[in-house]
Amino acid sequence: MEKTAENPREILERRAKEAGFDLVGVTSAEPLHEGGERLRAWQNSGMAADMNYMKRPVELLSNPKKLQKSAKSVVSLGVSYYPGDHPDGSESSGGKVARYAWGRDYHEVIKKRLFELRHELEKELGTKIKARAFTDAVPLLERSAAQHAGLGFFGRNSCVINGEIGSYFFIADLIVDLDFEPDEHGTGTCGKCTRCMAACPTGAIKAPGIVDARLCISYLTIENKGAIPRNLRPLVGEWAFGCDICQEVCPYNKTKATKTRWPEFDPAKGAGPHLDIKEVLHIRSDDEFERRFAGTPLTRPGRAGILRNCCVVAGNMRLESAVPALVESLFEDESPTVRGHAAWALGEIGVGESALRKALESESEMGVVEEIEAALVR
Amino acid identity, position 24: V
Rounded distance, CA 98 to CA 80, Å?
14
Strand locations in the chain (E): 23-28, 73-80, 94-97, 131-134, 153-154, 160-161, 169-176, 205-207, 210-211, 239-241, 274-276
3-class DSSP assignment, residue 310 = helix
What's the gap between Cα 218 and its chain centre?
A: 7
Is beta strand 274-276 parallel, antiparallel or unpaired with respect to 73-80? unpaired
Query: Is the separation of the CB atoms in 152 and 38 below 8 Å?
Result: no
Query: Is the separation of the CB atoms in 127 and 179 below 8 Å?
Result: no
Rounded distance, CA 250 to CA 196, Å?
6
75, β-bridge pairs: 26, 174
22 is catalytic: no
Query: Is the separation of the CB atoms in 100 and 22 below 8 Å?
Result: no
Query: Is the separation of the CB atoms in 287 and 281 below 8 Å?
Result: no
CA atoms within 13 A of residue 312's CA, in its CB half-sphere: 26
Residues in the chain, how many?
Answer: 378
Query: Is the separation of the CB atoms in 169 and 128 below 8 Å?
Result: no
Rounded distance, CA 157 to CA 166, Å?
12
3-class DSSP assignment, residue 179 = coil
**Rounded to the nearest 10 degrees, how much is the dihedral formed by the CA atoms of 362, 365, 366, 368?**
-80
3-class DSSP assignment, residue 311 = helix
Q: Which of 136, 177, 183, 276 is catalytic?
A: 136
Q: Catalytic residues, which ones?
A: 136
